[in-house]
Amino acid sequence: MNRNAIAQSSRATYTISDLAHEFALTTRAIRFYEDCGLLAPERRKRARVYGERERVRLKLILRGKRLGLALSEIGELLDLYEVRRNERAQLTAFLALLAERRTRLLQQREDIEVVLAEIDGIERECRRRLKAEAKPGHD
C-alpha cells in the first residue's frame, strides 16, 4: 500500500447510516453509544461524521457486548487505550474482564445443569404418575 492510499484510508469517513448498515444496527443504537460516551463523531453542521477511529470503536463495542461485557466495562477498556495509548494496559485489563466473565459463565452453566437435572426428575415423576393413572382399575 503506498503512502497516499494509507493517508486516504486514515481519513475515511462514514455517515451514521453507513455504520448502521455495516454493523446491522439501528441509527438509534449508534446514537445511544454516543450518549454513553463510547463514540464521539465529528460534527459538520448538523451531520455526524464518523472516522475510522469511531468505526473501530463501534466494532469493539459490539465485540464486548457479544462477550457479555457491560457498556461501562467496554468504555473503561476503550478509555485505557485512548488515555495512555498503552495497549499493554488495555490488554491486561481485558484479560481480567474476560477471566471474570468466564467465571460468571461457568457458574451460570453449573446452575443451569442443576436446574435441568431437577426438570428431568420432575418430568420422570410426572410420566410415572400418568402411567400409573392410565392402568385399569386405578380411579
Q: 1-85: what CATH class? A: mainly alpha
- Is residue 64 a contact partner of residue 74, using CB atoms and an 8 Å limit? yes
Under a CB-based contact definition with an 8 Å cutoff, are residues 75 and 37 in contact? yes
Q: Would you give per-residue pLDDT tens digits along the chain (139 residues)?
A: 444 444 444 578 999 999 999 999 999 999 999 999 999 999 998 888 999 999 999 999 999 999 999 999 999 888 877 766 767 888 888 899 999 999 999 999 999 999 999 999 999 999 999 999 888 766 5
The domain spans of the chain are: 1-85, 91-139
Q: Which residues of 97-116 are buried (b: 16+ CB within 10 A; e: fewer)?
A: beeebeeeeeeeeeeeeeee
